[in-house]
Amino acid sequence: MTAKEKSTDSGERRKHERIKKGFPIDYSLLDEFARGDSSRNGRLLDIGGGGLCFLAREPVTEQSSLVLLLDVLGWNPVMDEWVREQQEYDLGPMQVICTVVRVCESEESPGEYEVAVRFSGQIK
């Protein structure tokens, strides 16, 4: 089934499959990262080629830019998307720039927020 067919059949708008994860991540607002401020902790909920969703202790403003520190086995950043590789190998931690597209209070973890982001670049 193509991504377009998936979107039509289920109402899903994503063009990339999401893979469920559950490991910790670190994130900062872009301006905090530039100042060298300490990062915040979150927990990855799922990841796909164009973005991811994570759980945060505090809300983040939609359309803000974040820097995420990720160590994702089996995924490789290509341009502004992530591609799942056939072989799982460790590239080590990566700093990824992304844009917040949605924030909502978590139904499964009251008092925490689900933050959905779109990848927009990588810091080398």
pLDDT for 77-112, tens place per residue?
A: 665 566 666 565 555 677 889 999 999 999 999 999
Q: How far is CA 6 from the centre of its chain?
A: 21
Share of the chain above pLDDT 70, in %: 65
Q: So what's the pLDDT on residue 7?
A: 40
Residue owning tokens 């301006």: 31
Band the pLDDT of 9: cuts 50, 70, 90.
very low
Kindly report the average pLDDT of the chain as a whole number. Answer: 79
Examine the pLDDT at 115 and tell me if it is beyond 50. Answer: yes
Q: Looking at residues 20-37, what average pLDDT do you find?
A: 88
pLDDT at residue 20, as a whole number: 55
Fold for the domain defined by 16-123: Thrombin, subunit H (2.40.10)
The label of the residue with tokens 């994570």 reads 54
- Is the Cα torsion angle 6, 12, 15, 19 positive or negative in sign? negative
* pLDDT per position as a tens digit, 56-83: 999 999 999 999 988 766 666 665 566 6
pTM metric for this prediction: 0.72
